[in-house]
Amino acid sequence: MESVQTPSPHTPSSVGDRVRAQRAFFATGKTKDVNFRLEQLKRLKHAILDYRDRIVEAVGADLRRPEFEAYFEIASIAEVNTAIKHLKSWAKPKRVSTSLDQFPSRARIHPEPLGVVLIVAPWNYPFQLTMSPLVGAIAAGNCAVLKPSEIAPHTAAVVSDLIRSTFPPEYVTAIEGGVETSQSLLEQKFDKIFFTGGTRIGQIVMEAAAKHLTPVTLELGGKSPCIVDADVKLDVAVKRIVWGKFINAGQTCVAPDYLLVDRRVKPQLLEAVRQQVREFFGDDPAKSPDFCRMVSDRHFDRVASLLDNRGNAEIVVGGQCDRSDRYIAPTVLDNVSWDDPVMQDEIFGPILPVLEYDSLDDAIDRVASRPKPLALYVFSNNKPFQNRVLRETSSGGACVNDTVMHLAVSDLPFGGVGDSGMGSYHGKASFDTFSHFKSVLNKGLWFDLNWRYAPYHQWQLSLLKRIIG
């Protein structure tokens, strides 16, 4: 694929013009028509299918993603299909009951679009994580401004082309650019900001949104733990752990960030991990067509430094780095300390630290004492073990006896908690995220109870006390 030049930064004035154009279009009321929304979702679906080869090529250029993993980006089609299938039901006002003192009345909850929303996408799944929230924004009846990541420039260019050829800019537009463009966007007043990325930038987004009292959804990350019990089918567990950790070279927000393994099975697990890495990627993963690369020199340097400063940790497998190729081998570390640099922040790369525990109490205490992660994984055949981990830890989502795959269930809301984010999306949760639910009470004029009007009498007070209980 040809090299992509970084677009020149947009000024606050030019960005503001686009936002004002969208506000004018939203004011026409056209986006509130459910049939209009359905038509736009179908247009988006057809566009994704038409661009599928370009999307796969672009992701390959940005991340050296193998074609199989590149097709994960097309998974946003499932979100579109779900929205098309259920939109009329989601958008229908929901009736709620009223009490006798409200007679005669009816009460309904009306989902309404928020207005003009901003979607700031990350670089690690640069197409999917732009399109999936856009599906919710369109389904809920909003106008949308997309900011694809400049760190994945080939995919950003494809996103912009797709959006430009599918929607008028006063309805949906994509704005490319770097930090200055992002700053210009954050100076504008939006009705919602949806951000996917790291915690530090998430704090900047939230601070900017607060100036306009703009609600935010933050999809962040964190050190997602993977707890492995002694009572487990080790070969299947290891296969699922190694896959979930090393897809996209570990550049996945819900990748297992570290293993916390029962001491009794750690030696067998480490040997199984070593064999599984070899089975997936061969004796030299640098030559494997199925292993990704780091997205940039800066990200390579950050992750490689964790190996350079690993302290007493031992490399079980991997450890090789090649900056000229942005290659870091799938690496597993043993004898890791909780105080090592690799255990301080989210790794977001192909390094898997392994720690051990003696009792489940110890494992739960360790996890619970750290910031709440975006995902938590537990591998065990023991139901009470599974249930206790789920009950006594907090995380954005969780998976029992698998990794990452909970994201593929569209009816499961996906989002963080605490340091790993706020709000959720996928399926109906996406529609809800970009909607305001307006409560409406409708009273009839043909009959009027006098229980609430002055001058007040004792019987009214007695009645009020009975109503309140």
Length of the chain: 469
Q: Indicate which residue of 73, 79, 150, 219 is catalytic.
A: 219
Q: Where are the domains of the chain?
A: 12-220+421-437, 225-415
Give the up-direction half-sphere exposure of residue 446: CA atoms within 13 A in the CB hemisphere. 3
Q: 221 near 348, Cβ under 8 Å?
A: yes
Is 219 tagged catalytic?
A: yes
Mean pLDDT of 194-214: 96
CATH number of 12-220+421-437: 3.40.605.10
Q: What is the pLDDT of residue 223?
A: 96
Q: Could you report the per-residue pLDDT of 423-448, keeping only the tens digit for each?
A: 999 999 999 999 999 999 999 999 99
Q: Which amino acid is at 434?
A: F
Place of tokens 């537009």: 173
Region of 324 on the Ramachandran plot (φ > 0 left; ψ -120 to 50 alpha; else beta): alpha
Query: What are the residues whose beta carbons fall under 8 Å from the beta carbon of 14, sequence distance 6 or more?
Result: 184
Q: What is the largest CA-CA distance in the chain?
A: 89
Q: 351 near 303, Cβ under 8 Å?
A: yes
Q: What is the pLDDT of residue 242?
A: 98
Distance CA 71, CA 55 (A): 8
pLDDT band with cut points at 50, 70 and 90 for residue 102: confident
Classify the C-alpha dihedral 401-407-408-414 as positive or negative: positive
Q: What is the pLDDT of residue 467?
A: 83
Tell me phi and psi for residue 206, to 5 degrees. Answer: -65, -40
Q: Indicate which residue of 73, 143, 226, 253 is catalytic.
A: 253
- H/E stretch holding 380 reads none
Q: Could you report the per-residue pLDDT of 248-263, keeping only the tens digit for each?
A: 999 999 999 999 999 9
Topology annotation, domain 225-415: Aldehyde Dehydrogenase; Chain A, domain 2 (3.40.309)
pLDDT band with cut points at 50, 70 and 90 for residue 469: confident
Mean pLDDT of 128-136: 97
Nearest to 377 by CA among 196, 330, 363: 363
Q: 171 near 33, Cβ under 8 Å?
A: no
The token pair that represents 159 in the structure block: 């996103």
Q: Could you report the per-residue pLDDT of 446-468, keeping only the tens digit for each?
A: 999 888 999 999 999 998 898 88
Percentage of residues in the chain having pLDDT higher than 70: 97
Say whether 424 sits in a helix, a strand or coil.
strand
Distance CA 375, CA 404 (A): 8
Query: What are the residues whose beta carbons fall under 8 Å from the beta carbon of 206, sequence distance 6 or more?
Result: 216, 218
Q: What is the pLDDT of residue 57?
A: 97
Nearest to 119 by CA among 78, 156, 75, 80: 156
Nearest to 307 by CA among 336, 283, 281: 336
Distance CA 151, CA 164 (A): 20
**pTM, rounded to two decimals:** 0.94
Q: What is the pLDDT of residue 321?
A: 98
Q: 41 near 80, Cβ under 8 Å?
A: yes
pLDDT band with cut points at 50, 70 and 90 for residue 277: very high
Query: What are the residues whose beta carbons fall under 8 Å from the beta carbon of 301, sequence distance 6 or more?
Result: 323
- H/E stretch holding 244 reads helix 234-246
Is 57 tagged catalytic?
A: no
pLDDT band with cut points at 50, 70 and 90 for residue 50: very high
- DSSP line for 17-34: HHHHHHHHHHHTTGGG-H
Query: What are the residues whose beta carbons fall under 8 Å from the beta carbon of 37, sequence distance 6 or more?
Result: 31, 87, 91, 138, 139, 140, 141
Q: 348 near 303, Cβ under 8 Å?
A: yes
Distance CA 229, CA 247 (A): 23
